[in-house]
Chains A and B, each alone.
Chain A
């Protein structure tokens, strides 16, 4: 599979590289993968992603697939979801998983952290009202535990409830019995996940991808 094609692609790659921060080589590899997944069409659909076999056993596969089609992740201030995406959007979503560069300032690190956590937040906040409500959080935990079979929805509810209680007590503090806690806002989300070093944990080593692996027919 050829990597660098004719000149227009090269130019396109450069703009993409500037926008997302990937190197040209990485963009070429990802483009190959995109073409493979979309069966050489220009756009990718949900069904194309659903055909990936390895994804079958992943408990949160639907959320992951949805994240690719969520306009909020395209960095263009859109909302809602789309039916199909082009390579640029694909790459934009992938760019959330880049590792931080070696020497970056504290500000850049913080920015990257916010961007990655925003991605996670969007995955949870499906109705896009800016908060993760109890129902949405319950759904998240249920999906996580869905593969574990035996214990089912009850435990998931319990865990989600405990988690919400924890966030509420950390963020808001003591509440009177008739106050109502709407849900986790983005700022609170940032706060509770301060312990996890997102910028280093949420990354994939893109450069180590082997092109021969990509040629294997996982799809179809």
Chain B
């Protein structure tokens, strides 16, 4: 290995050992050293012993220049150390690439947890256990919120029936199957396990049968499986929370009593509906509140992300107050608020939210797995071969049978059927995780004397699923040639036709008189557009249809791609499409063609100008680096790129099209000033640029796709500060242009004139737009 790499490893190991040492050291009893400085100053008065006053009874001690007071900061210090440890672990795994490609991260983290726990135990201390309160209040919500906020709504709703079947019916089947069979095994076993009664077994079954979202996310994210399977397993893991909550409380309540009547079962069903629907309603309410609040944040952009986080967290906590499903509340909140909030908040806030959510969920996820490892070392165990092995086997069998049976039923109603490969992945992807562990940990040992045995069994199942299934799923996916996630770029034609199809199918349904799927979806969309969007989205953005938003987004991406690929250096062929507008515009043979010849020298000058512009932009761009985030990297600096790109594209078009465009009239001084103020180096070439018609960006020509969008935006938001558009040169379209459709030209012309009436202060070369206009990021 190279010297540099070796140094990195050594540095890293050194730092890691230091942190680990601090951690272990912090857990040691340090009470003795900490007490003496305290009592002298703080507690002297309150102890009611021989020191009544302040000044008189101080014995003369040398002034403590340096004192050690650890108890003071113990708790935050320890928490920070753990978080630091978790993050360092995450760093470490990526320094060793080979290992992380074989073993999923979750396994490695559990192993680390085991090591740390072992280390602590060796020192003689009690390793900290994953306390349920910490888990449910601090570690779980960020992961769920991250999942809910970025959930692909369209696929989720398309497959909702299937997901619900798996979540509800599948989990019920698993619980009863595992619980019942375990009871049978316990009875058969005889002396050691006879004390385990049916209700306890059923409780155990219900806890262990829930597929865990944390584990599923951790493993599935690395295997890049196709979206359908991902959303099925992941959706199931989220929605089965309601079932788990109800069953857990039901069995826990009544296991002390010892029996369950039909009334209880009926109430249990009612409770399930209340828990799930109530959770969703609570989440939706908070979501709407958050969306509404975001409408007013245009002046205090800095705290926008805070609203998203706080409202979501409150939704979770509020649901927990009523014992409703907190997970469903979080998902509902995130999903409901997202389209509206994204339309309202600034681009930077959007980035902030995304980064923070990913960061928190990543740290949580790491901490959870490490703590699982530590708790394994710490927790009170009671190993019973029969019980544990039976649990593992029954879990697997139940899952497979459940999936196969349910798919058989579901396929009758689905258009896109689930193949047996899909079924295998769904069954194999049913991983258990920390939620099950925490739920068992919450059990009261007095009521449940077999709690320790349950703990051991659950940990074994978790280890089995995470290690064995987690590690082997990747080679299995490759072996079975399961369809992977497609990294296709959505083309605008597909987008147009998706919309077209939606409307077509709705229309056909109306002609058939059939109130189907599309009809209701269309009605919901219309309701959304007419009432809801007006309430929750600030200003003009509420009217923007999805197609246009998509188009803007696509243009952004193309612009950034172009600049990033060094577009300035190879100007003429830099455009991704080597077909330009005039190839598709029908020829107008009757037109009078003026031919302002462009000499080679002038062409070169134009190219040089643009090249230097772009290079400067590129250098700026390099400070925004690529991340390993699972999101599109085109966030930063999009708007500057868009402007530059427009400039270049227009230039290219002009250079191709000068045969069809008659010479425009000379510019007005205002426009010249605006143009030249923005391009400092253009000052020197003033004489050159003015006489060339092609440098001007013809914004209002209907010929160019993106031009009109910019114009429209100007007209929409008249209050946007004009100085931000300093980098753009604008030219009023020549009235002498002979186009087929003249009337649309007039309007944008007027708008442009208004725009350019005050070019604003001398702009610097690149001006960030303060808010993302018209880029409502729809799904």
Contact = CB atoms under 8 A, between A and B. Distances in A.
A203 B503 CA distance: 12
Contacts of A186: none
Contacts of A165: 577, 579-581, 584, 705
Contact of B501 (A30, A61, A179, A201): A201
Interface string B498-539: 111101111111111111111100100010000000000000
A153 B579 contact: no
Interface in A129-182: 133-135, 140-141, 144-145, 148-151, 153-155, 157-159, 161-169, 172-175, 177, 179-181
Nearest to A52: B510
Interface stretch (A3-11, A79-87, A188-196): A188-196
B582 A177 contact: yes
A158 B513 CA distance: 36
Interface string B260-286: 000000000000000000000000000
A144 B500 contact: yes
Given A179-B583, A206-B512, A163 B496 contact: yes
A33 B514 CA distance: 10
B583 A208 contact: no
Interface stretch (A70-78, A94-102, A107-115): A94-102
A150 B577 CA distance: 30
Contacts, number: 201
A151 B544 contact: yes
A87 to B, nearest CB: 14
Interface residues of B, number: 69
Nearest to A135: B586
Most B CB within 10 A of own CB, among A52, A133, A165, A168: A165
A157 B579 contact: no
A148 B543 contact: yes
Most A CB within 10 A of own CB, among B511, B518, B545, B548: B511
Contacts of A197: 416
A101 to B, nearest CB: 11
B387 interface: no
Contacts of A102: 417
B513 A166 contact: no
Contacts of A57: 526
B45 to A, nearest CB: 71
B702 interface: yes
A210 B659 CA distance: 62
B421 interface: no
A205 B517 contact: yes
B547 interface: yes
Interface in A10-43: 30, 33, 36-37
Contacts of A149: 543
A202 B716 CA distance: 36
A168 B505 CA distance: 28
A64 B22 CA distance: 72
A120 B497 contact: yes
B587 interface: yes
B708 A158 contact: yes
Contacts of B712: 151, 154-155
A60 B547 CA distance: 15
Interface residues of A, number: 75
A64 B415 CA distance: 24
A154 B511 contact: no
Contact of A134 (B415, B490, B585): B585
Contacts of A168: 577, 579, 583-584
A54 interface: yes
B55 interface: no
Contact of A141 (B496, B517, B716): B496
A167 B493 contact: yes
Contacts of A157: 702, 705, 708
B508 A204 contact: yes
Contacts of A181: 579, 583-584
Given A154-B744, A204-B516, A175 B578 contact: yes
Contacts of B415: 99-100, 200, 203
B509 A204 contact: yes
Given A148-B543, A159-B547, A175-B579, A192 B513 contact: no
Contacts of B586: 133-135, 180
Nearest to A184: B493
Contact of A196 (B494, B508, B705, B709): B494
B512 A204 contact: yes
A114 B656 CA distance: 37
Contacts of A120: 497, 500-501, 504
Contacts of B517: 205
Interface string B477-493: 00000000000101111
Interface string A102-132: 1000000000000000001001000000000
A162 B491 CA distance: 10
Nearest to A137: B496
A206 B748 CA distance: 48
Most A CB within 10 A of own CB, among B498, B587, B705, B711: B705
Given A151-B544, A162-B551, A140 B496 contact: yes
Specify the main secondary structure of chain B where it touches its partner. Answer: helix
Interface string A195-220: 11100111111101110011010100
A174 B416 CA distance: 38
Most A CB within 10 A of own CB, among B497, B545, B705: B497
B704 interface: yes
A145 B547 contact: yes
A132 B363 CA distance: 53
Contacts of A195: 488, 490-491, 494
B190 interface: no
Given A58-B510, A102-B417, A144 B503 contact: yes
Contacts of A161: 581, 584, 703-705
A205 B577 CA distance: 40
Nearest to A197: B416
A30 B581 CA distance: 46
A123 B500 CA distance: 11
B604 to A, nearest CB: 19
B579 A155 contact: no
B512 A94 contact: yes
Contact of A208 (B417, B516, B587, B706): B516
B519 A54 contact: yes
Given A134-B586, A165-B584, A177-B656, A159 B507 contact: no
A145 to B, nearest CB: 6
Given A159-B496, A159-B551, A173 B507 contact: no
B707 interface: yes
B493 A204 contact: no
Nearest to B417: A102
A201 B519 CA distance: 15
Contacts of A164: 584
A163 B488 CA distance: 17
Contacts of A166: 491-493, 577
Given A195-B494, A208-B514, A209-B512, 17 more contacts: A57-B526, A64-B508, A134-B585, A144-B496, A144-B503, A148-B544, A153-B744, A158-B705, A161-B581, A164-B584, A165-B580, A166-B493, A173-B578, A177-B583, A192-B493, A202-B504, A210-B515
30 contacts: A36-B513, A49-B511, A54-B510, A55-B510, A55-B511, A59-B503, A64-B511, A120-B501, A120-B504, A134-B586, A145-B547, A148-B548, A150-B540, A150-B544, A150-B716, A151-B543, A157-B708, A161-B705, A162-B551, A163-B493, A163-B496, A165-B580, A165-B584, A166-B577, A168-B583, A192-B491, A193-B493, A204-B518, A209-B514, A213-B515
Interface of A: 30, 33, 36-37, 49, 52, 54-55, 57-61, 64, 68, 94, 97, 99-100, 102, 120, 123, 133-135, 140-141, 144-145, 148-151, 153-155, 157-159, 161-169, 172-175, 177, 179-181, 192-193, 195-197, 200-206, 208-210, 213-214, 216, 218
Instruction: Sort A-B residue pairs by CB-CB distance and give the 5 closest, nearest first.
Output: A169-B577, A158-B705, A174-B578, A154-B708, A148-B545
